[in-house]
Amino acid sequence: MHVQLPHNITDLSLTFFAKGRPYEVQKSHAHFGTIRTTLLDWNNAERGIVDIDALIKLADPTVELRAASGERLTFAGREMRYDGLPLHNLWVDKIIAFKDEGENFDPIFRALEDLQLNPTPAARERLPLFVERSKLGFLPDGRIAAFKGVRDNYNDVHSNTVNYAVGKTVSMPRHECNANPDQTCTTGLHLGAIDYIRNNGYGWGSDRRMLLCAFWPRHVVAVPVDYHGGKMRVEELTVLDEVDRKYVNELLNSSTTLVRGYDTPATTAAPAPVAEAKPEVDVREPYQKAKVGDWIEVEDDQYLSDGEYLVVAVDDASADNQRLSVKTGSSDDDTEWVDDDAVTGILPSAPDWFLAKLGDWIEYDEYGDTRTGEVIEIDESSLNPGDGSRLRVHDGSEETWVDNDDVEQILASPPPVYLRARMDDLITIADNPVLRDGEFKVVEIFDDSDSDKEDGSRLGVEINNEPFPIINRSIRSIKREVEAAVAKGEAAAAASTAVVVAGASAPVVANLWEQVLKGDKVRVAGDPDIQDGEYIVDLTDSGLTHGPDGVGIMVSGLYIYNKNLKEILERDGKPFVLPGVMAPAVAEKQPWDLAEVGDTVRVEGSRWVQDGDYVVDRVQSAEQKAGRGPDFGGSSTEYGVHIAKGGWFIEKRAVKAIVRKKGEVEVPADGFVPVDTSKKLHEQASTGDFARVTDGSYSSAGEYEIVAVNEDSRAMTFKLKAPFKTNKSDLWVYDRNVTHIRKANAVTAPAAEEVPLYKQVAVGDRIKVEGSHDTPDGEYEVTRTDDYRSGYRVSVDNQGKNGRVWWVGHGTVKAIVRKGPATVSTEPAWKLAKVGDTVEVKGAPTHRDGSYVVDRVDEGNGGGKRLKLVNPGGTRWVNNEYVVSIVSTAGYAPVRDPAAFAKAKIGDTVTVKGSSWVKDGDWRVIMIDEGDNERLRVRTDEDERWVRNEHVFALKEVVQGLTWRDAEVGDSIRVEGHSTVADGDYEVIATDKGDVHVPLKLMIGSERRWVRSENLKAVTKKAA
């Protein structure tokens, strides 16, 4: 029976409707012409369901692929997924190749199914890299083919103990195979791509054999990061056949999709070795041996520049002594025939200028000097070695195209981090002798004889709008690289060096002892004077330069031989990194190590408390974790955290999990959670949920079911179910009276134990105070705490003013800057101060007594003047003896966000630095002038002023909703954290916004009270 097929055809597209859905095909579609002809001729012949199915397959290839995979293959936009997991591009390309070549899909889907059984995530992720480099395809049963090089007796090259006879299946326990892809030459059964075997001689010498093998994806253990994915370790493989090296390229060309002839594993035994067999010597010239796809070396050709070229055609009947044609450009016509006598050799693989990829680091020649650069752009059309530039690189200072024949090699790992930084990069520094640890902007790059050395200075960072040289060894990371690595899910790869995990097998590097520093945690073995183990380095001296038998490292009061230093485990409490080695995975931290103050942890099996959930109020410092700080609870090795309840130190082993991070809200026992003032009420609840309300004009306090929701209302969103105390009918209530929401299906849990910030403070801590009546905003040392003092638990040292104790309100404690007392040092203040610190000067003939910010530091201490200080009229050096103390290490923001002034909006808070008219601080934007170099007008604690764009350092806070500054009489405002007023919403009855400390008067019950700004939160505008 003829089946009708509704359709519409235009010059640019066509649409037909089949099996309940439309199919649209654009003119660019590969089968547009075939489908169009079929539709035009549809009614001229008997058509049925089979014809419709064929048409659907032409229009939508995914239909056939989904069916062939048993619906395990799905499509999300342009992404192809198998069992819901996105497929690597290689799998996609292979599936398409099977389709284009008309092959049955069973082999590749069997391989994908088998891959799901592989227990190693890194192996599953990296297998496509090897398959892509190997260029071999799949066996009909789903196994994948690969090459292996062996000795003439069929034994392995490395140990000459494992036999790989044709037909033999060789295996070893998976746990004995090294699954770490960052370790390249280690245990496992090795397979390789053809170029890897050629370049390393494993199957290419006169005493070597080349084997064709097969493996199941589940048996892959690791694809090492080196060799561009050309090598792999498996736990089991089967030898299929021996391959004559002369026919390797032919095998590759015919087997990229399906490898035929090996449906089941071979069972033939190894041939008996022939002792007197001699390899056949190929005496032909290079131009006679070269085949299509080879790369050849050309010298002294009449038309071509010297270099490496890709062979694209062969003419064995040439009468012009030009057998080979090579590629010279991107188009089909860009070819040239080569003089036979100009072909000097055949390359074992493609040249590095052709193999390099984006992100690779290469060495290249520039006017006789060797330089390094990162590949940032590739011109795929450039295939001429002499007249082309395929790679564009950034050498840290500038970008440049590199001539193909100037590319010397692809580096196995990137250069040190200080050589990778570029202009305007943000870099992180640590352990710099004159700067505090932090993030700084690169504003200058120096190029002198020492700039590429570890103790040299290649980079200048912005300090007070001027370049300041940074010692290379103090540079830790580049923000650009870290962000790029995080975006790829490979944060460890952004580090400049290998992360060595304590207890793990560390890479062995030459002269490890030359990299050790005082304070490092190291592993020592084989020394005659101390036991093998882990130690903290007490001292290093000139003995480090005396080679492996030198004695330059002191641990536990004893010198050890340099050669007995086996591993640097940690530096500054963090895993140490080895220059030039890619990072292996970092060991997973334990819960006690991940916990932060305010987190809730699960404790089980402690000697001191019952099993349960507890809030953490103290954790180990980085120094304590590194074994260098004071003991934590009497034993930093035993105790990991301190809890608020009962004040107990808890054993590391007893901290089982982090139940909840600080600030996370858990549904309390009754199911009601506070209203989120940043969202509209109708976004938080719907009909059938419950609301808790306070007494109001139309409501009495209680909990009621929501029976209606008005999304358009600005004042009354919820209608609640009666009975009310004052009314027996359902009523609309004011939004300001709705305090909590409970979802109808809420799953309740015990209420979280919370520790307010002011309760976490201990004597000796350094805290940040803002908004106090008596104490100016700033950082202070805590001198006393009193848990029974209402509203004022903490007192601080305000530099002894009036000889009294200065108590600060709960809400004015904004941050704990440092836990515990400051480290006591016997060094003088002038020697400890760094750029950005504030120091106190007394008795100097060049400076008035007072506090000054350090502008520059001279480590050479020229003329007894180490510090250059910022004066009102400029900068001036000060004699060391007049610097009596370091007042503050807060410093200034070293990195200015140049776009901060442009991003700010009215209501936002910006950080202002260095203005002549506006004092340094964080101020709220109240007005904007788009056409001026003073775009922002800010309100300080004294007045309102315009501020120049260059003095806006950062966008400190983006306003989220209305604040107390927007409140007017009649509005409702949220009060939180007040010592005598319960949290809730209250009506504004008066304002005095000139007083930034106590700006609003509220109606609190029957009482009218002024309330401090630190307790005022979100505003709800009165109904129009």
Amino acid sitting at position 764: G
CB crowding 300-317: b at 16 or more within 10 Å, else e: ebeebbebbbbbbeeeee
Contacts of 1014 (CB under 8 A, 6+ apart): 770, 771, 809, 811, 812, 977
CB crowding 173-206: b at 16 or more within 10 Å, else e: ebeebbbbbbbeeeebbbbbbbbbbbbbebbbee
CA 512 to chain centre: 28
Contact 15, 4 (CB under 8 A): no
CATH of 416-493, one of 2.60.40, 2.30.30, 2.40.50, 1.10.3470: 2.30.30
- Distance, in Å, from the CA atom of 186 to the CA atom of 505, rounded to the nearest integer, reads 12
pLDDT at 267: 35
Around 183, how many Cα atoms within 13 Å sit in the side-chain half-sphere?
18
Amino acid sitting at position 581: V
Which string of DSSP letters, residue by residue, matches 231-270? EEEESEEEEEEEE-GGGHHHHHHH-SSB--S-SS---PPP
Q: Which two tokens stand for residue 501?
A: 């995990």
Task: Please report, for the chain, the start and end positions of each structural domain, with discontinuous segments joined by +.
Answer: 85-253, 286-350, 351-415, 416-493, 516-575, 591-628+636-660, 757-817, 829-888
Place of tokens 């032909």: 284
Q: Which two tokens stand for residue 958?
A: 């983006």
Contact 223, 256 (CB under 8 A): no
**3 state SS of 1001:** strand
- Distance, in Å, from the CA atom of 149 to the CA atom of 245, rounded to the nearest integer, reads 11
Q: The domain 829-888: what is its CATH number?
A: 2.30.30
| Residue 179: DSSP 8-state | -
The two domains 351-415 and 829-888 share their CATH topology (first three levels equal): yes
- Distance, in Å, from the CA atom of 855 to the CA atom of 932, rounded to the nearest integer, reads 30
Amino acid sitting at position 853: V
- Distance, in Å, from the CA atom of 475 to the CA atom of 497, rounded to the nearest integer, reads 12
pLDDT at 256: 67
CATH architecture of the domain 351-415 equals: Roll (2.30)
Q: Which helix (H) or strand (E) holds 494?
A: none
Closest Cα to residue 901, out of 890, 891, 909, 889?
A: 909
pLDDT at 283: 65
Q: Which two tokens stand for residue 24?
A: 């649209």
- Distance, in Å, from the CA atom of 117 to the CA atom of 122, rounded to the nearest integer, reads 13
Which string of DSSP letters, residue by residue, matches 61-94? HHHHHHHHTTT-EEEETTEEEETTEEPPHHHHHH
Contact 166, 271 (CB under 8 A): yes
CA 337 to chain centre: 49
Helices (H), 325-370: 352-355
Which string of DSSP letters, residue by residue, matches 717-777? -EEEPSPPSS-SS-EE--GGGEEEEE-TT----PPPP---GGGG--TT-EEEE-S-SSS-S
Q: Output the pTM of the full model.
A: 0.35
pLDDT at 233: 93
Q: Which two tokens stand for residue 453?
A: 């050395």
Mean pLDDT, consecutive 10-residue stretches, the chain (1024 aa), reads 73 74 73 81 77 77 69 65 69 72 79 87 85 83 89 86 90 90 86 78 70 92 83 93 75 71 47 40 76 84 84 82 83 84 82 81 85 85 72 85 85 80 86 78 82 83 80 84 60 33 34 77 82 82 64 78 84 66 46 86 79 84 70 73 80 84 65 79 86 75 86 81 64 84 63 64 80 76 69 67 64 77 70 81 85 78 79 78 77 58 79 76 79 81 82 70 77 82 87 77 86 79 63
Amino acid sitting at position 939: R
Q: Which two tokens stand for residue 103?
A: 């092959």
pLDDT at 882: 92
- Distance, in Å, from the CA atom of 159 to the CA atom of 150, rounded to the nearest integer, reads 11
pLDDT at 487: 58
Place of tokens 């080879």: 294
Contact 286, 344 (CB under 8 A): yes
pLDDT at 506: 34
- CA distances 712 to 10, 286, 716, 717, Å, are 46, 83, 9, 8
